[in-house]
Amino acid sequence: MTRTVVVPLDGSDSSEIALPIARQLRDRLGGTLKLISVVEVSAEFDAWVETAPFSLEDELDTWLDDRRSYLQTVAERSGDNVETEIRVGRPAPEIRAVLEETGDALLVMASHGRSGLQQVVLGSVALSILHDVHMPVVVVHMQDEAVGTTGAIDSVLLPTDGSRFSENAIEEALEILGEPRPAARLVQVLEHPGWSEHSNYTGLVNQYLQAGREMSENHLEELAGKLRERGYRADAELRSGGAADGILDAANEHKVSMIAMATHGRGSVGRLLLGSVAQRVLQRATVPLMLIHLESDED
């Protein structure tokens, strides 16, 4: 698989924490690293430009030259196959436009940049981008720097809900991560349905829950076995409790390099509703999070 790894930068150190992961993915995919920066010009600024008694074109040109010089400096320390692009406008729409024009993009971005005129405020636009784009996204958090963002991607936590939808997301994530193959840790978190606590048929409910647990354990081990047959070091783990908490706890306990999961799943008894879970994991993850957007859930 060849992809263009797109990284939005705003000139701040916080936005650059996405670069080590982006470079690794570029090298794994044999693709291109595309560094983009948006010089933010708001509607209010446009109105001011039109009514100002003097020309501000020179000022804007200076901003563009500064940003162009900055991107070139970053590109020079980023190895081969690097492109740069400057945009003017509002960050989220401009970033989305670049992604759509690129086509085969993998977006890698910091969860937060710095605010102010001319800067990409990734903290405020990240969720907007995630809801609207239809390609994989890797989000790198500020605290990821402390746990080894510059280290190799040697292990990945792969949440599943037992559906083909989540299995397709696992396949795409592993394809993106490429070679060398990371150790794969599958995890499924079973949440007890609320009605089970109020049922008058405790024995039958317990039998039902136990049967569901055994089915999930067997399915997880089957998935892990298939990955081992393909040469992956793969383990599987079934947890109980809150879905997001279970995923985050597993990531911390096993010290994985990355979490990779679908942005949406199917909700039913014993399954993760990955749409809401993914957002909670995104807010609290302490390692890079790869979000895979798939169009439909097939069973």
**Tens of pLDDT, residues 7-64:** 999 888 888 999 999 999 999 999 999 999 998 875 555 555 555 555 556 677 888 8
Q: Which two tokens stand for residue 33?
A: 């690293």
Domain boundary among 100, 125, 147: 147
Crossing angle between the packed helical segments 243-254 and 274-284, to the nearest 10 degrees? 50
Asked whether residue 161 falls in the same domain as residue 56, the answer is no
Phi/psi class of residue 45: alpha, beta or left (left: φ > 0; alpha: ψ in -120 to 50)? alpha
Asked whether residue 142 falls in the same domain as residue 240, the answer is no
Can you give the length of the chain in residues? 299
Phi/psi class of residue 175: alpha, beta or left (left: φ > 0; alpha: ψ in -120 to 50)? alpha
The residue among 55 and 103 whose pLDDT is bigger is 103
Residue 207 lies in a domain: yes
Asked whether residue 37 falls in the same domain as residue 124, the answer is yes
Nearest to 192 by CA among 201, 203, 181, 205: 205
Residue 104 lies in a domain: yes
Q: Which of 112-126, 150-164, 274-288 has the lowest mean pLDDT?
A: 112-126
Asked whether residue 123 falls in the same domain as residue 253, the answer is no
Please determine, for residue 76, whether its predicted confidence score (pLDDT) is greater than 90: yes
Residue 108 lies in a domain: yes
Asked whether residue 18 falls in the same domain as residue 121, the answer is yes
Asked whether residue 162 falls in the same domain as residue 256, the answer is yes
Residue 10 lies in a domain: yes
Nearest to 282 by CA among 127, 178, 117, 143: 127
Q: What is the DSSP letter of 17?
A: G
Asked whether residue 88 falls in the same domain as residue 172, the answer is no
Asked whether residue 259 falls in the same domain as residue 170, the answer is yes
Residue 92 lies in a domain: yes
Domain boundary among 124, 147, 170: 147
Q: Residue 19: its pLDDT value, please?
A: 94
pLDDT mean across residues, the chain: 80
Nearby residues of 293 by Cβ (< 8 Å), 6 or more positions away:
133, 134, 135, 136, 137, 262, 263, 264
| CATH label of the domain that carries residue 238 | 3.40.50.620
Residue 299 lies in a domain: no
Asked whether residue 217 falls in the same domain as residue 264, the answer is yes
User: Structural domain of residue 211, as residue ranges?
Assistant: 155-292
Residue 297 lies in a domain: no
Residue 298 lies in a domain: no
Asked whether residue 143 falls in the same domain as residue 8, the answer is yes
The residue among 285 and 143 whose pLDDT is bigger is 285
Say how many domains are in the chain.
Answer: 2
Asked whether residue 173 falls in the same domain as residue 227, the answer is yes
Q: What is the DSSP letter of 27?
A: H
Domain boundary among 119, 147, 175: 147
Asked whether residue 31 falls in the same domain as residue 107, the answer is yes
Please determine, for residue 271, whether its predicted confidence score (pLDDT) is greater than 70: no
